């Protein structure tokens, strides 16, 4: 597992009482950072158990993509806290919020759930961020974990954003995980230099999330299966992973797009051919070439030269040979003909 050392460290980090620093997960756009941290958060969330009348804090995930002001960040955090408070009794909320007058909380009360009628509305003025304070551990359970994703796409000044996040680390003792392509934070070279200076005050550890195609592939197949009937990728997963790695393409978002598109493309094949003895071999070749062309086109290269029929100029032959050298080992491994021959023989099945 490529990122086991990252998972192990995060498991250690969230069990610290007051670490006093944040952790940065970095990697290029599409490398699977968000997918990785959401899987980790899902496993942490399952560990949280209800405990009487206490508030049970589950990990909070916030995307900063396109956020322009701090008020919006606060709203997004509070929107995840309110449902937790809403589920508790009015007396508990009153006790927790006693004497705090910063933020208005309004919720409905249903004393008799059986009649499905609203029995009134209560409104308290309280600072919901107080539930992060360590002194409330008798009423607030959980590890107080916050994840801020897409930091490089946040439109708020880097120093301002880091100062805001530092409050959760320093004053509330929260475990804070930042997710970003860190070399793009600040939006410019000058902005990145500012980030390098301020990160030392907040970030204690930085890990690069490695591209784990196989794990992400399994997750994507399950995910698209919720929307459409999915082609049975199980016998061909190794091929998909090998093509993706051979292409040296790091954007896992494209892998998900490919699954949707090939799923639809394969659906046009007649059922009478799907029952033939040669169908599995045909699909292997089709899948390999579909994915090669898909990735190369997404990468902006002239993959048409690899598929060219007829004479090529000297310059074109050099480029075409480059493609052949890159993919021929893969084609030979699965005993797949070059596309020029594959296209001619595939119509015979």
The rounded distance, in Å, linking the Cα atoms of 128 and 87 is: 14
pLDDT of the residue at 94? 54
Based on the domain organization, do 10 and 153 belong to the same domain? yes
Based on the domain organization, do 151 and 197 belong to the same domain? yes
Strand segments (E) across the chain: 22-26, 55-57, 60-63, 104-108, 121-125, 140-142, 145-149, 175-180, 203-208
pLDDT of the residue at 166? 92
Last residue in a domain, options 161, 181, 208 = 208
Residue 28 contacts residue 182 (beta carbons within 8 Å) = no
Based on the domain organization, do 187 and 38 belong to the same domain? yes
pLDDT of the residue at 98? 52
pLDDT of the residue at 271? 81
Based on the domain organization, do 111 and 230 belong to the same domain? no
Which stretches of the chain drop beneath a pLDDT of 50? 89-90, 99-113, 119-126, 309-312, 317-318, 342-349
Based on the domain organization, do 132 and 236 belong to the same domain? no
pLDDT of the residue at 224? 84
- Residue 298 sits in which domain range? 213-348
pLDDT of the residue at 89? 47
Based on the domain organization, do 196 and 343 belong to the same domain? no
Based on the domain organization, do 169 and 241 belong to the same domain? no
Largest CA distance in the chain: 83
Last residue in a domain, options 180, 208, 236 = 208
Q: Provide the 10 A C-beta neighbour count for residue 1.
A: 10
The rounded distance, in Å, linking the Cα atoms of 261 and 297 is: 14
Based on the domain organization, do 92 and 168 belong to the same domain? yes
Based on the domain organization, do 192 and 58 belong to the same domain? yes
The rounded distance, in Å, linking the Cα atoms of 292 and 307 is: 11
Based on the domain organization, do 170 and 218 belong to the same domain? no
The pTM of this model reads: 0.70
Number of domains in the chain: 2
Based on the domain organization, do 164 and 222 belong to the same domain? no
pLDDT digit string, tens, across residues 117-127: 554 444 433 46
Q: How many CA atoms lie within 13 A of 309 on its CB side?
A: 6
pLDDT of the residue at 51? 55
Last residue in a domain, options 139, 173, 208 = 208
pLDDT digit string, tens, across residues 27-44: 887 778 998 999 999 988
Based on the domain organization, do 218 and 192 belong to the same domain? no
């Amino acid at each position: 597992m490529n990122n086991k050392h990252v998972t192990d460290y995060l498991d250690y980090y969230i069990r610290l009482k007051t670490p006093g620093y944040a952790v940065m997960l970095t990697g290029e756009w599409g490398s699977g950072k968000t997918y990785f941290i959401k899987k980790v958060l899902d496993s942490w969330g399952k560990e949280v158990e209800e405990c009487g009348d206490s508030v049970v804090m589950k990990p909070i995930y916030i995307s900063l993509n396109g956020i322009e002001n701090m008020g919006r960040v606060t709203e997004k955090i509070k929107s995840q806290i309110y449902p937790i408070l809403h589920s508790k009794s009015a007396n508990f909320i009153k006790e927790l919020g006693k004497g705090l007058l910063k933020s208005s909380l309004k919720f409905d009360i249903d004393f008799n759930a059986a009649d499905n009628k609203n029995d009134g509305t209560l409104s308290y003025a309280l600072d919901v961020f107080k539930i992060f304070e360590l002194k409330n551990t008798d009423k607030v359970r959980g590890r107080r974990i916050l994840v801020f994703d897409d930091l490089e796409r946040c439109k708020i000044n880097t120093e301002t954003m880091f100062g805001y996040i530092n409050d959760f680390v320093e004053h509330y003792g929260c475990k804070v995980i930042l997710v970003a392509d860190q070399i793009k934070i600040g939006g410019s070279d000058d902005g990145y230099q500012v980030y390098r200076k301020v990160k030392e005050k907040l970030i204690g550890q930085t890990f690069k999330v490695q591209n784990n195609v196989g794990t992400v592939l399994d997750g994507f197949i399950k995910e698209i299966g919720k929307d459409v009937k999915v082609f049975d990728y199980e016998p061909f997963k190794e091929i998909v992973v090998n093509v993706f790695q051979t292409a040296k393409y790091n954007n896992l978002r494209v892998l998900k797009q490919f699954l949707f598109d090939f799923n639809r493309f394969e659906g046009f094949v007649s059922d009478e051919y799907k029952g033939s003895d040669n169908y599995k071999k045909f699909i292997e070749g089709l899948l390999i070439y579909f994915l090669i062309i898909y990735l190369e086109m997404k990468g902006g290269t002239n993959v048409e030269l690899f598929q060219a029929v007829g004479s090529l100029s000297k310059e074109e032959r050099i480029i075409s040979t480059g493609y052949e050298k890159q993919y021929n080992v893969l084609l030979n491994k699965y005993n797949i003909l070059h596309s020029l021959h594959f296209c001619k023989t595939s119509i015979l099945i």
